[in-house]
Structure 1
Amino acid sequence: MPKLLTEMLKGTLEGIVLATLSGRPAYGYEITAWLREQGFSDIAEGTVYALLVRVEKRGLVDVEKVPSEKGPPRKVYSLNAVGREYLEEFWRTWSFLTERLDQLREGGE
């Protein structure tokens, strides 16, 4: 993955993961696998797990431990009301930024 893409992804990955959880609850590996299917092929599981710990500490997700057939229980994350509000703010900010960047690219003011 090119360095610029990696840097830009760092700033948006939290919103991307929360958007993923807005559709349905998931555990870390599921999220990583889905992101890879969407073309984010170089995202490491450790990056996603660290991000999930951060959003859990910030109260943006609820966590449920679900039994697993292959070892210890899995932590399944779901977006809660606080996380939904945060995600809405993320999308508003994203829209603002993309509009301004489009204006710059087109040479407008």
Structure 2
Amino acid sequence: MTTQKSNDDRIALLQGTLDLLILKILVLGPRHGQGIARSIQRQSEEVFLVDHGSLYLALQRLEDKKWISAKWGVSENNRKARFYSLTAKGREHLVQKTSEWQRLTRAMGLILDGGPSGEEV
């Protein structure tokens, strides 16, 4: 997965970020792979673009960990597709990781904004 400011300015995301984003998207209900990728892109206001190779590796990893389950179905354009759903174990992991990310982003904000003591960089 990459972030995009422009076509030439791409930044690699921290490991585990794509897993968390997939789990969060699946809270809304079952989705097929392309639907997951489009939801991540749309909800990030086009900042995150998900590489299909990375997406399907992440989906397999999440399925192996029993955080998601998959079953075959028919997509909105009448094609056979695997639909992924969040499991109870996945929901627990999502809650834990969301809390960790919220602490991390708060700490980064404190440092980047000058910290609680008002120190400027």
Fold shared per TM-score above 0.5: yes
Q: Let me know the Cα RMSD of the aligned residues.
A: 1.9
Residue in 2 that maps onto 1:51: 58
Q: Normalized per residue, which structure has more strand?
A: 2
Q: Closer, same or farther in 2 for the Cα pair 1:11/1:60, shift >3 Å?
A: closer
Letter in 2 for 1:25: P
Q: TM-score, normalised by structure 2?
A: 0.75
Deviations 1:8-57 (A, max 9, x none): 4x441110111000111001111112223331453212211111000000
Measure, in 1, the Cα distance between the counterparts of 2:62 and 2:16: 14
Q: 2:13 aligns with which of 7, 21, 25?
A: 7
How many residues were matched structurally? 105
Q: Is the 8 A contact 2:66 2:89 kept in 1?
A: yes
Q: Percent identity?
A: 27
Higher helix share goes to which structure?
1
- What's the secondary structure of 1:59's corresponding residue? coil
1:19 aligns with 2:27: no
TM-score by length of 1: 0.82
> AA paired with 2:66?
G
* Structure 2: runs of 5 or more not aligned: 117-121
1:30 corresponding residue in structure 2: 35
Distance (whole Å) between structure 1 residues aligned to residue 91 and residue 104 of structure 2: 20
Name the CA distance, whole Å, in 1 between partners of 2:38 and 2:20: 17
